[in-house]
Structure 1
């Protein structure tokens, strides 16, 4: 009785879900190297000039009300522009004469387009609805969007809003690879993806029902095998037909992989179930004082974005620009716990320069004392913390290939009930925070889905071998399952017609 129920569940779910599993596993090979094209802001070809007005002159345009939230100088439409944001407003002026930057117009459109691609424009389409390369519901409010086709061998295409914001930039190669990788893997098919809630529901329920399908199949296979063990022995396959035989063998070997892959896919969308969380939603962490404030800081870009007091920036901007020669493309005023510094972007790199020293240009780096003071603010006074300087990866801090976390870093270990560890990069000032919930979430998603496990990421060759074996087995399992599901559907339809 139970076997028939599980078998029926497996067959019914297998018809639609086997197709999705085939797409997921086969596209998984391409996802190792590529996903879906994203527009990355091009590095300006020209650098900041030396004509930037002094700081006190620039700040003369500041409104009387509101404190400065951000301040930066960068290239826009071929000229140096200063952008100043307060609690109440945002102002953009040319940095050499304080004249307001005019609103975006057709005159500037050509400048923006040429910054992305200098090839001849073959055609311009005006889109009133999203298409395959911007299949996201959020762009509906930005319509119309202009789509530029360029006459070059790379087949560039650029999408721009009426305000001049570039939302997508692709090549013919990007688009071909996306059809093998991100589109089938993430179900980025325009009719589905342009409806955010529907797409989310399809992915979540496909993942959950996929777990049920795989689990029911394994249960049926074990029950059939166990029933025949006395006749054929333990090491036997209960099926004789080739497709059934291979599906059984592959299911026993890779069925668990399909379950964990499907469940981790759900984790990427649905988040960690509340019963698995150590910190309950209705319970505030008694050992942490500033958890909500840290979340707000992360949403607005971190503590490095807040300008506390412009008078504290003693190092003249003109000197920074002169030292950088023709390679500086933007400068952002920033601070670390009231310590001023400049975030300087060059053509091919970034650097944090200490702005509290008027004479010398030197890197702004975190010290152990600064890290300890910052970490101490985040925990209750009763929580003990230790700070160390590490130059090797540990169980909480690692990565794969180009995404390897930078070293060396400061490591802060807190003696709280969440076993929190925070890593501080002294040069980039970035932080990486891990606690028990984060470890569980990382394993249930990245660990199971992308084998983001230190034992494997430390040995890239082993990671590739294991990933290829699992993807190959999962693909073969999905294909055999799809064939059997279609055969069962065909037999069922023929039987119903005869009746």
Structure 2
């Protein structure tokens, strides 16, 4: 039995040691250079203040121009190339991108209300110049996707115009051909480092082409095999180590050849951490849907209607400006059945403004306000997973283990607002909801299985444990040590694999 395990470990290592070396090296790169994305802060900072005197067409005009029989589930007013643009989202629309079934976006002229059917190369250049004023531009091409735009979040925005900016960072902008917005930016540093970072870490060479449909399975089964390899390596290492006494060489390891001995010793020292890293990476793919509990999503606001927004958008912008709030985007929100405008400024600050009739609010005179009352938010939250009841409600003014912030470049990074209201329910899935009083929205929902994933993936793979990530550079040193140890084990395995596979000279004939 042991011999079969030795052989299985050997041949799995020959096949997989190069993959493992790539994962450990690229993991260090991803600590500091993430996959390109346009953050909310970058996007808002590049937008001008919305002008209530030059905007807007009525909501009913926008709904009519969209030409859809159903009402939208989302509506946002932004600026594209210096002009107001309304973006309506329809949940049951089929995207024209790769991810069929995703919400479809319909772009409209914010001032006149007419439909904007696609953005030309000239429009893409205009959007890029408005995004980075005073920087020379050159149009590259139109692509469905490229190595830096594989995110599913972009599926409803494809195809994408690529525009090269002549700035110091050599920024490349991606402009949606559907909405005309700048939806991604990628500097030369991000583009270059991603070839040895996210690109190989996520096995993106298998994205696109004949293997695209198999990409998820390739990642899952490769990581699963690597997990078995690491586990078998630990078993073999322990079996071969002489804990009491030594071999004739004076070593606790039976191997005399330096590379074999180093592989043995390094595997014992770093094997457990390497195993946890590979196994947690496997869990990031939610293999075989192990973290899907079937828990229903919170019943947030559904479709928007003109009746819920009696206050015109232009008037809302004028009131916001009069209160000293410079709105750069406006969102239409339905909270507890009533319409509200959510305004965002260039620093990510928010204001709310009642937009329709309520028994307790006169929207004609109500001023903008910063957040919903926590008691009202709790009452609203109690209806979101009906008929299940709230068993605990807490106002969080500090992050907890499941709602926390990471650096913007990380996979789950970005700022998270505080305070939030955390509600725990008595449903069979042990669901928790986090509600943001600044927006009235559910910003996170986790059930028992997702909380398990937070520890099995989030902790073991990224070590995003508050006492550690709040005390950098200790987190950096710990993460680099883990990856360096795993890399050394893998590199020694590569050397041994090469020695096993390389052609050997035939013995001389006598």
Aligned to 2:371: 365
SS at match of 2:123: helix
Shift of 1:76: 2.9
Alignment of structure 1 residues 36-75 onto 2, 5 Å: 36-39=35-38, 42-43=43-44, 44-52=46-54, 57-59=58-60, 62-63=63-64, 66-67=70-71, 69-75=73-79
Aligned to 1:260: 276
Matched, 1:456 2:501: no
1:470 to 463, 482, 487: 482
Shift of 1:152: 3.9
Q: Tell me, yes or no, if the aligned pair for 1:187 and 1:193 is still in contact at 8 Å.
A: no
CA distance in 2, matches of 1:497, 1:367: 85
Aligned to 2:83: 79
CA distance in 2, matches of 1:396, 1:90: 31
CA distance in 2, matches of 1:92, 1:273: 35
- Note the residue ranges of structure 2 that are not aligned, 5 or more in a row: 94-103, 355-360
Q: 1:461 to 1:170 in 2, by over 3 A?
A: closer
Shift of 1:251: 0.7
Q: For residues 308-367 of structure 1, what are the alpha-carbon distances to aligned partners after superposition, in whole Å with 9 as ceiling and x for unaligned?
A: 833554893243353267932221221211233211122222313131543242325233
Shift of 1:247: 1.2
Shift of 1:208: 0.6
Matched, 1:375 2:381: yes
The RMSD of aligned alpha carbons is: 4.0
Alignment of structure 1 residues 347-426 onto 2, 5 Å: 347-355=346-354, 356=361, 357-379=363-385, 383=389, 385-400=391-406, 403=413, 405-426=416-437
Q: For residues 270-297 of structure 1, what are the alpha-carbon distances to aligned partners after superposition, in whole Å with 9 as ceiling and x for unaligned?
A: 34764x87x5x6xxxxxxxxx5353xx6
SS at match of 2:328: strand
Which structure shows the bigger proportion of residues in helix conformation? 1
Shift of 1:268: 1.3
- Note the residue ranges of structure 1 that are not aligned, 5 or more in a row: 282-290
Q: Tell me, yes or no, if the aligned pair for 1:344 and 1:353 is still in contact at 8 Å.
A: yes
Aligned to 1:108: 123
Worse overlay, 243-252 or 147-156? 147-156
Matched, 1:155 2:170: yes
Aligned to 1:337: 336
CA distance in 2, matches of 1:374, 1:497: 82
SS at match of 2:51: coil
Aligned to 1:202: 218
SS at match of 1:50: coil
CA distance in 2, matches of 1:412, 1:186: 34
CA distance in 1, matches of 2:119, 2:150: 25
SS at match of 1:377: coil
Q: 1:197 to 1:71 in 2, by over 3 A?
A: closer
CA distance in 2, matches of 1:487, 1:349: 57
SS at match of 1:481: helix
CA distance in 2, matches of 1:141, 1:375: 30
Matched, 1:309 2:307: yes
SS at match of 2:368: coil
Aligned to 1:215: 231
SS at match of 1:35: coil
